[in-house]
């Protein structure tokens, strides 16, 4: 059950991350190929609408990809740091799907201000690309908040998880792992590494 839980959570998160990154790269590539080939609408208003949709999709997918990567690091941390209580944090399909669903909802809500033209992407005739519009104070504040939420905060959490994992003691003896997985009777000698890990 222990190994099965780790395998399921890791597979779902990795699959989700791969799909999101593939869609993001494909969307980015197609849009900018069309832009460079001048296939996009010629009218300026139509270009602004196309850039607005591009910005919404790009920021949402970018945000959910980073938070999925963060969830993978949390999964690794809980599996290594608290093996006996791992099922409490990531135990069932429902918990993993709720985590992914919450990530999608938060990412979409955080990208919604662009729908009301706050830091919305606009077509730049000089570069012939869609770039964020940072001409207003509201747009600048939103862009800074978005960077903090989608880049700096996940990086801090990922670094924290990896630093905590690296500071853990050496792996417990095989008998302790067998005891944790199969709930077998305790061995005739103590398992100090397992006890130390539970205290952490």
Q: pTM of the full predicted structure?
A: 0.72
Q: 1.10.1040.10, 1.10.150.110, 1.20.1070.10, 3.40.50.1220: which CATH number matches 8-181?
A: 1.20.1070.10
What does each C-alpha distance from 121 to 24, 26, 50, 66 come to in angstroms?
16, 18, 9, 21
pLDDT digits (tens, 9 = 90+) for 53-86: 888 888 899 899 999 999 888 888 888 877 777 7
Which DSSP string corresponds to 21-73? HHHHHHHHHHHHHHHHTT-S-SSHHHHHHHHHHHHHHHHHHHHHHHHHHHHHH
Q: DSSP state, 132? A: E
So where are the chain's domains? Answer: 8-181
pLDDT digits (tens, 9 = 90+) for 78-95: 888 777 777 766 656 777
């Amino acid at each position: 059950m222990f190994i099965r839980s780790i395998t399921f959570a890791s597979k779902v998160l990795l699959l989700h991350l791969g799909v999101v990154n593939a869609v993001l790269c494909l969307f980015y590539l197609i849009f900018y190929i069309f832009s460079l080939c001048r296939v996009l609408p010629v009218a300026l208003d139509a270009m602004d609408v196309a850039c607005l949709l591009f910005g919404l999709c790009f920021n949402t997918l970018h945000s959910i990809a980073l938070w999925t990567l963060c969830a993978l690091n949390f999964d690794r941390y809980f599996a290594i740091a608290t093996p006996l209580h791992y099922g409490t944090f990531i135990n069932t399909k429902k918990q993993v799907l709720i985590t992914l669903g919450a990530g999608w909802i938060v990412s979409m809500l955080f990208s919604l201000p662009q729908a009301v033209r706050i830091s919305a992407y606009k077509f730049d005739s000089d570069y012939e690309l869609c770039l964020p519009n940072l001409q207003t104070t509201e747009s600048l504040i939103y862009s800074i908040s978005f960077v903090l939420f989608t880049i700096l905060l996940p990086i801090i959490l990922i670094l924290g998880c990896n630093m905590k994992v690296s500071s853990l003691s050496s792996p417990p003896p095989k008998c302790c792992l067998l005891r944790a997985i199969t709930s077998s009777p305790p061995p005739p000698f103590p398992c100090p590494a397992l006890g130390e890990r539970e205290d952490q």
